[in-house]
Structure formats: structure tokens, C-alpha cells
A = this chain, B = another copy of it.
């Protein structure tokens, strides 16, 4: 297990800068009033393939030697890592094979195919996903870029917090009391930990998770990884369990993990669409949902929130079904 260090984040940023967008930070006086906190939203949904995962995926793809790159890359993913890795592989001109649950949103499958990724479908469970992937990788020989339990991926995700800290100081007069992101496998949260431990150790890091997929919260409280095989939540990006690398960061650097119900997640999603006027996934609204139900914790605080992705089936919005 190679644990990435801060220098890996700086190296990643130099490597991926031509392939990613320095996404803007948005605020909403209405949401500030509603929560009693000062919220700053880092809009990773504006990345070209629609999610922060383009950072980690690009770092892995563009870090390969020419020799390694020949066989391409392979992964399993509930959606955004698949499309982001395909995007990066496409930019480098190498093959990308991905295993996705058959239940992944059509918008995410479409995007993988748009970037030339080849999809093999599996059942929506960790066990099916891993078994299917083993077959695919044996057949293609691509370099395995795990969606989160990979030091290259975690260092790549850490570049988001790097930009966020700079933007807060340049444009919003200072640092953050809290940094928040949704947690599935913990790749983004680990990247935040890695970067803020160096740049802003005073910022407390809080992960947010659906009640119906609360394995990270239970792991955090138990002190060891608890994995759930097939959780069901509208937050389709947060179905996967922690692994050893992300557990290292979560167990050592995260202050708390808060949870929200499906209804609270949907409500926060609609609030953000309405008042921030961005299209984002249900997974991305879990942090706001937990802030709304823990207002005393965040009262008057400066809270940075990563909007992790924006790939949504516009024909199936959860508040309309």
C-alpha cells in the first residue's frame, strides 16, 4: 500500500492541468440564510465529463509510460469514474474498458460510450462488480485504475482541494472552518485530507453519506472497515465501500461522518438546483442535506462543499417521480 503524499498532489496538478477545468466556486445568499452558515460550493460538476473524477483518472492515465499505456486502462465504476477515465484515455488515445452496474444512470453510460470507453455490465453489487472486472481485465490486460483505492487517483482528487484553498483566499477572504464532500469509496474525501493536512490543518473535514448506504459512518464509529454488498440509495455515486488506502485517510483525518435520509437528499438536491442554479447529482447534495439537519454544528461557520458531479437523467428527476 503506497500512501500518496502532498508532493504527489503537486505533481498531479502539473500533469493534469491541461486536461481539467479550474472549476468556479459559487455561493447562494438564500442557502446561507436557510442554513445559518456561509456555504461555498466548488462546482466539479462543470468538469467536461461532469465530475471531479476526471482529476484522478487523468493523473493515472497521463502518468503511464508509453510502454504501459499501450494496453490502455481498465476499471469498474458506478458511473463517473468510468466516464472520466474514458475521457482521459480518449485524450491520450489509448483503450479504456469499464465494468458498470446495469442499473447505472443512462446518462453515465452514454458518456462512457461518447468517450470511446467499452462497457461490460454487471449486477449492482460489489461482489458481482469485482468478479466481472477480473474477467475483463484478464482479457484486455489494461492497467487497473481503481476508482478510489489507488494513490494516483487520490493524489489527483487532492488537486480539487488545492484549487479550493487558493480560490477561498483569493476571492473569498480566507480559509474554511469545514470542508465537506459526499463519501462512497472515499476517494475525494481522501484527496481533501491529503491536501488540507498540509495546506489548512485547521479546517475540519466532514464526510456526508446516505443513511441507506452508511457503511463509511459505521466503519468510522467501529474503527475498522465495514462493507455493505449492495446498498440502495438515490445517491448512485455512493454505493461502494471504503478500502485500505481511503480508510487510512478517513480514519486519520476526518472529523465526523454525517448521514441524511433519501427524502432529505432529494430536498437538498432541489434546493441547490433552484438557488445555486446548477445541475448536480443526488450524491452531491448529501453534504447540504446533513448541514440542514445539523444546523447548530455549522452556525456561522465557513463551509466548503464539493459538488462532485452533474450527470443526471433529466427525464427522471427524483422530485417529479
Contact = CB atoms under 8 A, between A and B. Distances in A.
Contact of A46 (B45, B277, B310): B277
Interface of A: 24, 26, 28-30, 45-46, 48, 50, 107, 114, 270, 273-274, 276-280, 310, 312, 314-315, 317, 319-320
B314 A274 contact: yes
B274 A277 contact: no
A277 B320 CA distance: 19
Nearest to A270: B314
B29 A48 contact: yes
Given A314-B319, A320-B315, A274 B107 contact: yes
A229 to B, nearest CB: 32
21 contacts: A24-B24, A26-B46, A29-B48, A30-B48, A30-B114, A46-B276, A50-B277, A270-B314, A273-B279, A274-B279, A274-B312, A274-B314, A277-B278, A277-B280, A278-B278, A279-B279, A314-B319, A315-B319, A315-B320, A317-B317, A317-B320
A278 B29 CA distance: 18
Contacts of A114: 30
Contacts of A29: 48
A88 to B, nearest CB: 13
Contacts of A270: 314
B279 A277 contact: yes
A178 B45 CA distance: 27
A4 B279 CA distance: 37
A49 to B, nearest CB: 10
A15 to B, nearest CB: 20
A278 B50 CA distance: 11
Contacts of A46: 26, 276-277
Contact of A278 (B279, B312, B319, B320): B279
- Which 4 pairs between the two chains have the least Cβ-Cβ distance? A277-B310, A277-B279, A24-B24, A45-B277
A320 B315 CA distance: 7
Contact of A320 (B274, B276, B310, B320): B320
A277 B41 CA distance: 14
A92 to B, nearest CB: 16
